[in-house]
Copies of this chain bind each other. A is one copy, B any other.
Amino acid sequence: MIKSPLQIARESYAPKMPKALKGSVKIVEGKETESVADQADIKKMFPNTYGMPLLTFEPGEAAPTAARNVGVILSGGQAPGGHNVISGIYDGLKKLNPENKLYGFLGGPGGLVDNEYVELTADIVDHYRNTGGFDIIGSGRTKLEEEDQFEKALVNCKDLNITALVIIGGDDSNTNACVLAEYYKAKGAGVQVIGCPKTIDGDLKNEMVETSFGFDTACKVYSELIGNIQRDANSAKKYWHFIKLMGRSASHIGLECALQTQPNICIVSEEVEAKQMTLDDVVTYIAEIVAKRAEKGENFGTALIPEGLVEFIPAMKKLIAELNDLLAHNEDKVNALEGNKEKREFVADLLSADSKEVFVSLPNSIANQLMADRDPHGNVQVSLIETEKMLIDMVKAKLKVWKKEGKFKGKFKGQPHFFGYEGRCAAPSNFDADYCYALGNTASVLIADGKTGYMASVRNLTASSDEWIAGGVPVTMMMNMEKRHGEMKPVIQKALVRLDGAPFKKFVEKRDDWAENTKYVYPGPIQYFGPSEVCDITTKTLQYEQK
């Protein structure tokens, strides 16, 4: 690896640690826990890992532990800080017993099933401290769900004498980690399983998990770019920048970036759904702000768009469901038609009246894309919809009508952007570097104490890192029953943006002012070495939630 100067300088950063993790750790057991909902069902499914107590770490004496081998897996999409979770586990294990070993399974959960691994030694780990990416062992999207996989994994663990696994992943991966923990405990397999909360989307959080790692860094990278674009908009004064931000399920990223940068517009999917807004409502909302700013001669602005928006618009959701069905049944007929125009007309006539209305209102390029790009299951690929361009086209069309009616007198030129890959592998901010390292350390302590079915938890995150509270949360505590692929399943509740939550309320309080007036904030790039108020502050979301 050829290291950049920043990477070299950053290697020697020593993550700041909670007081309780600095020396030996005493584990304090709290109250027994219940799942957030569907207690009876969850308890029945997790007889061995349900109801365990919350754990909190305090400074104290720890009994010496025998040497043991531990495996670690990175699961799903990249998030800044994954390497620090691993170095945190590694250092934690070595502190407990220098004979402890850490194995990394390659390419995600698939590596555990297929027995592809590497022993993580100091001369590997040291090159990845405080760096972004998951390239130390790679990641993957294989889901650990089948008994067959569990058994193969167990054989591989036995081969390597591994008695504990740490699974670093999002809500689904942690759910599966818990299922695996229960399975191994039930059969007395002698392999513990500990989860770690990862996702830039920020939708894995609850009372005991204040934030998932990576959210802080990713939002800061996007906010850097949004700020730069806003300064450009405010200098050139001629473009409306529509910026789509990664995150299919929840709008936490958009909301956080809005709180950091104060754009003119930020669409929050959860609000669109709650208000049962149509696509035209969203377009009208944006166009009205464009028109209002144009009245003051400000023919420029910024709008943040969540990646998953269309799936939160009830009418679009219905249209997509109908299209999935209709295209599956009429594939040959549609393909036989030569031009896109004919295809659109053919398809439109087979839709329900409501969906037809939505379909014909879409820009042709989007309608074509909805017909053309389907995944291997024949479904419309929502992630390929260029929502930012679709909205630019539709706002433009609406303003053209308003111009004729004399309701709009300005100019409108849109510039689309999409940010996602730019932030998932950024070098972790000081916050994420510290938080991840603490999470990794916490996992090592939970392992040493024989725990399974727990997620590493580090809380009180807006206080100084010294005061952070480390411990463990039973994964079952975060579960409820949800319908997945037609079946009721125990899953960790996904945390969407709460419309009664402090971050959203703060945004609502300010947004009209931000819309009409130009109140841009330019956060600039993540700083690692400067004053603490520049380098160590975490997200606005956490700050407002903790207040």
Contact = CB atoms under 8 A, between A and B. Distances in A.
Interface of A: 2-7, 9-10, 77-78, 107, 131-135, 138-139, 221, 224-225, 227-229, 231-232, 234-237, 239, 241, 262, 338-341, 365, 415, 417, 421-427, 519-531, 533-534, 537
A2 B229 contact: no
A133 B235 contact: yes
A124 to B, nearest CB: 15
Given A5-B531, A133-B522, A427-B524, 14 more contacts: A5-B534, A78-B236, A107-B237, A133-B231, A133-B234, A221-B228, A224-B525, A228-B424, A228-B426, A229-B422, A338-B341, A426-B524, A427-B522, A529-B531
A527 B528 contact: yes
A132 B522 contact: yes
A535 to B, nearest CB: 8
Given A4-B523, A421-B417, A531-B9, A78 B139 contact: no
A533 B227 CA distance: 26
A262 B4 CA distance: 11
B232 A421 contact: yes
B522 A228 contact: no
A231 B423 CA distance: 10
A524 B135 contact: no
B4 A424 contact: no
Contacts of A262: 2
13 contacts: A4-B523, A6-B527, A7-B522, A9-B530, A134-B236, A221-B525, A228-B421, A228-B424, A232-B421, A232-B424, A415-B421, A427-B525, A525-B525
A531 B340 CA distance: 58
A524 to B, nearest CB: 4
Sorted from nearest, which 7 A-B pairs have the closest CB atoms? Answer: A525-B525, A529-B530, A231-B425, A133-B231, A6-B524, A134-B235, A232-B425
A307 to B, nearest CB: 14
A520 B530 CA distance: 27
A462 to B, nearest CB: 15
A523 to B, nearest CB: 5
Contacts of A526: 525
A540 to B, nearest CB: 12
Given A9-B533, A135-B234, A522-B132, A422 B527 contact: no
Contact of A524 (B4, B138, B235, B239): B4
A236 B132 contact: no
Most B Cβ at <10 Å: residue of A139, A231, A262, A530: A231
A376 to B, nearest CB: 13
A132 B525 CA distance: 12
